[in-house]
Structure 1
């Protein structure tokens, strides 16, 4: 018999629905009419073994046992799902063929692969395992997927990447949390100081941003605008901004802003009632293609901007839309492209949306099905594709407000692929006035195109670049003499950086290269996935709040006193994104077969060993003497009694 192993029961039931009936529904599996069986994991049913599982003496936290680096890695069953593992053990033995149906990402690949390995499936049987990739739980999509099974061995690199990440997080989290907790105790801080490969640099970003704001001193700077008319007798037609020359640079800051008021006043006095010659005129037609469909991070950023939804809430809503309502494709995607094969379903999706009662119906009716945007690109597809609506109609489904908002965001981002480009004329004019250069750029819309779908949205990426460039220019020719009626001095003040919000913190994680110091690493990271992954970022941010390292003040995210103290106590290496972001780039390279497991793990273990030694030299003078007591949550990472330091807190390795 064939055994299908899905990642979750919901996926298992969706697979069974597309296979021969009648079905016999059991607690741990579904028996099909043809004798095959569909079973499932319940998320992770295996976990990395704890240190004390390797050696009972490691249950007590002692500095002389660190770093602990397993020679042979062990997994152990998770207690709450042990019954499901037992059922899978029996089914695997009975199966002639196994079909791997984990979620289409590296974590989903590893989740089922490690069960197959743990249950000691024979090499012969393992060599025949097939891979079923499902990103849409609706029946037609599942049936299509079942006709295109792949060889599971083609996805070994994806599994190895996830395995390396899992072990790296364990090594880093277990060893450094123990080391810094033990060192912190010496200064009277009797609580766990959890350190994570991703969470700690992320906390460091927030702490440093707060410090920058606290230490910021606003400084005035000055701009000069020339008010231009076609002739001295006519009213002002437009304004142009002064561009300081090289001779003015000693009076400017690093961004080229004039800091000396007298210099700007001198320019104002010189250009009043003076001729203004059109020195250069550039006209060009520009086309802006529609934005790509969403991956998870970009969806979370957009939802945070538009609806003030935090990342965890967006992910939970997406899971509901995917598993419960089957209205969207697999949501934990890091990809913003679509396979060309998906074009075959696009017409049906658009028709479904056009016939519906949601606000997107008119947008779907006006979509041009014949258009093929740059989103359809097979070369940019890995294990999954962008998040898009399915062929299922949302009518007669009772969506709550959050679900409706997220669904409509996903729908709009899909429908813009079937709208023409936004087309505009851009004109740039350089004026010479009293020996000084003044410029003006103007934009005139020729075709609204896909932007019509964003016309009423105030907080979208599509409209985020609106500036006074929309001011129109009169017809001009090069060499034409205009008139500067007067100059205007504009005094502005430098602004401090803004506190992070859910949207900007996610954006910082995806664009982590901006916060990296090393120019070589920065260069590498511009093409990487950033800090964390699309599937893990929401959980990491949520974890920092649960541990009371972060707090919200309105939309702003602030570090708490305990979070600030922790970052100040740690070595800079542990609090910067440079190292962990570089690791993420290597993990991605492993999944793409451009790097291997040892090239990642060997330097990592050396780094962990060095950091453990460094922990013994940290004075931790900035930590409070009294243990910080977080609010109780369902996930208990540690108790806060003195005895708690003798046991490993659960889930410290995120």
Structure 2
């Protein structure tokens, strides 16, 4: 008997649907007509044990007990899903062959692996486990996945990476939260000060941006525009490019701050001869953007529709599990396996059937075209989010689901449209020793941009002046110079889109140059699957708030950042850890090479925490904590029943 272990019931049902009939449904499993069985987890069936499972003394929060570092890590069954764990245990003993069908990412890999390890499968049987990667729940796609099973042992590095992340989050979050909550009490703050390996640097990004805006002092700067006339009377303008000699009069961004300097340049070039010193004209093209990863989809949906990251994730999950209209959404890849290209005609047909608004591009679509998105070298466990080949009445979808589907569909169709082609002219003009430049872009073929419509603003298509016919070396007349005064603008408050973009491309915010060197452009804070939850968690904890589309830090959020060392609230350390976790999954680093330095750093941070009373939190109201039935949910104050009752937090919450 083959036993398929899926991550969720929805995936389990999708697998069972393609197995031989008749089916016999049991409690927590489906038996196919050929005797094979499909069962499933219900998310994580196991969780990291609480500190008091290692030592009852840890139930009371004390500084003296920190840091808490287990000698032997323990997992415990979740009470609500213990029954399903028993079902899987029984079926595993009966099975001749196991197929791991967790979601195609590192969390899905660990989720089933840890159940197999916890139940204690014999080594010989464990060595034969196969891995099934399913990204599309429609029957044809599930059948293809079942016909292409791989060895589960090939995915050990992915599972090890997820395990290291889980334990790092527990160690860092549990110890730092206890330390700062206890120190916060000394300052009079009676709430739980949740500190996480990922959530706290994200909070730090928002706090620092808010303060940068508050401290911003606007200042005027000046641009000089030359109004030029060609011999045949045509007109155009060019902008002054200050020389190195003007550096003392510029800010760090090269803006001229001296009005007298700008006016002097404008006066000098008025009614003067100008020389067109350089003329570059060439046809260029811009390839279509790649299909979506979850973060890139969340960013676009936030910009276009004002959706939060969590709304996009929830909409994606419904489109994947309930409607089967898109592939697996928790993906960090923007590439597709080459073999998927064979399904392009059927996917395009389904999109055209589902979305009438894309009709204008139908005559231009070329299903044979293969964009750079199809690249096996950049695809492993999961691929980019794309539509499935399923036809559906989109009128049955909710508004959010429909909008997300249309974004995903448009991004896929881009891959089969021509490149956007344009003619670019770059001009350099010399006037009285000064250099003036302008650029013009003339569209030649809209290509994939025909589908943009008004959906997405495109800065490349911003209005530009039309240049007359010009010749390099010709003389022009500088009719007059014009000084334009502008005012520097403060940074913008973070929004869902920009905060997600910051988390995804965190290297821009890393201050340590050595760490920045080892980060890739795609290295970020958290994972595709966790970023939305981390942002929502900071709102839930009362550390962030919304003002329209703007995301702002609360007083408590700012106070917590002030109380922490910079290394805990800046992204450098965590971004480096995320890079190492990725290296583990790519077989470029080991579990021990990640955990040993982390433990050393944790000892330093706890030692630092116990020496500082966070006065920044003094007098701030704490967010009330809901009390649970049967178990006191501590807020940092003493319970009438016990002095050690504290609010418990899962490892996932502590990230």
User: What is the TM-score when the length of structure 2 is the normalising length?
Assistant: 0.96
CA distance in 1, matches of 2:627, 2:341: 45
SS for the counterpart of 1:643 is coil
CA distance in 2, matches of 1:520, 1:337: 29
Are 1:409 and 2:407 an aligned pair?
A: yes
| 1:213-228 to 2 correspondences below 5 Å | 213-228=213-228
CA distance in 1, matches of 2:328, 2:202: 26
Are 1:643 and 2:642 an aligned pair?
A: no
Are 1:564 and 2:564 an aligned pair?
A: no
Matched residue, 1:53: 53
User: Deviation per CA, 1:83-136, whole angstroms, max 9, x where unpaired?
Assistant: 000111111111111100000000000000000000000001100000010000
Are 1:15 and 2:15 an aligned pair?
A: yes
Deviates more, 1:278-287 or 1:170-179: 278-287
Question: What displacement does 1:582 show?
Answer: 0.3
Aligned counterpart in structure 1 of residue 241 of structure 2, from 226, 243, 247:
243
Give the number of aligned pairs: 648
SS for the counterpart of 2:187 is coil
Residues 438 and 630 of structure 1: CA distance in aligned 2, closer, same or farther (over 3 Å): farther
**Contact kept in structure 1, 2:205 and 2:570, CA below 8 Å:** yes
CA distance in 1, matches of 2:71, 2:466: 70
Matched residue, 2:535: 541
User: Deviation per CA, 1:344-378, whole angstroms, max 9, x where unpaired?
Assistant: 10111111222345423443454111211000011
Residues 634 and 61 of structure 1: CA distance in aligned 2, closer, same or farther (over 3 Å): closer
Question: What displacement does 1:229 show?
Answer: 1.1
User: Deviation per CA, 1:56-83, whole angstroms, max 9, x where unpaired?
Assistant: 1110011111101111111000111010
Matched residue, 1:517: 511
User: Deviation per CA, 1:27-84, whole angstroms, max 9, x where unpaired?
Assistant: 2100111111100000000001111011111100111111011111110001110100
Runs of 4 or more consecutive aligned structure 1 residues displaced over 4 Å after TM superposition: 630-639
Aligned counterpart in structure 2 of residue 378 of structure 1, from 376, 379, 383:
376
CA distance in 1, matches of 2:214, 2:542: 21
**Contact kept in structure 1, 2:555 and 2:620, CA below 8 Å:** no
Are 1:355 and 2:350 an aligned pair?
A: no
Question: What displacement does 1:327 show?
Answer: 0.1
Residues 121 and 364 of structure 1: CA distance in aligned 2, closer, same or farther (over 3 Å): farther
| 1:490-639 to 2 correspondences below 5 Å | 490-625=484-619, 627-630=621-624, 638-639=633-634
**Contact kept in structure 1, 2:130 and 2:151, CA below 8 Å:** yes
Residues 634 and 390 of structure 1: CA distance in aligned 2, closer, same or farther (over 3 Å): farther
CA distance in 2, matches of 1:638, 1:435: 74
Are 1:277 and 2:275 an aligned pair?
A: yes
Matched residue, 1:432: 430
**Contact kept in structure 2, 1:337 and 1:385, CA below 8 Å:** yes
**Contact kept in structure 1, 2:326 and 2:387, CA below 8 Å:** yes
Residues 68 and 633 of structure 1: CA distance in aligned 2, closer, same or farther (over 3 Å): closer
User: What is the TM-score when the length of structure 1 is the normalising length?
Assistant: 0.97
**Contact kept in structure 2, 1:29 and 1:37, CA below 8 Å:** yes
| 1:202-221 to 2 correspondences below 5 Å | 202-221=202-221
**Contact kept in structure 2, 1:352 and 1:392, CA below 8 Å:** yes
Matched residue, 2:654: 653
Question: What displacement does 1:189 show?
Answer: 1.3
**Contact kept in structure 2, 1:190 and 1:642, CA below 8 Å:** yes
**Contact kept in structure 1, 2:216 and 2:490, CA below 8 Å:** yes
| 1:231-310 to 2 correspondences below 5 Å | 231=231, 234=233, 237-310=235-308
What residue ranges of structure 1 are gaps of 5+ in the alignment? none
User: Deviation per CA, 1:201-242, whole angstroms, max 9, x where unpaired?
Assistant: 0000000001100111011110000011113x825x211000
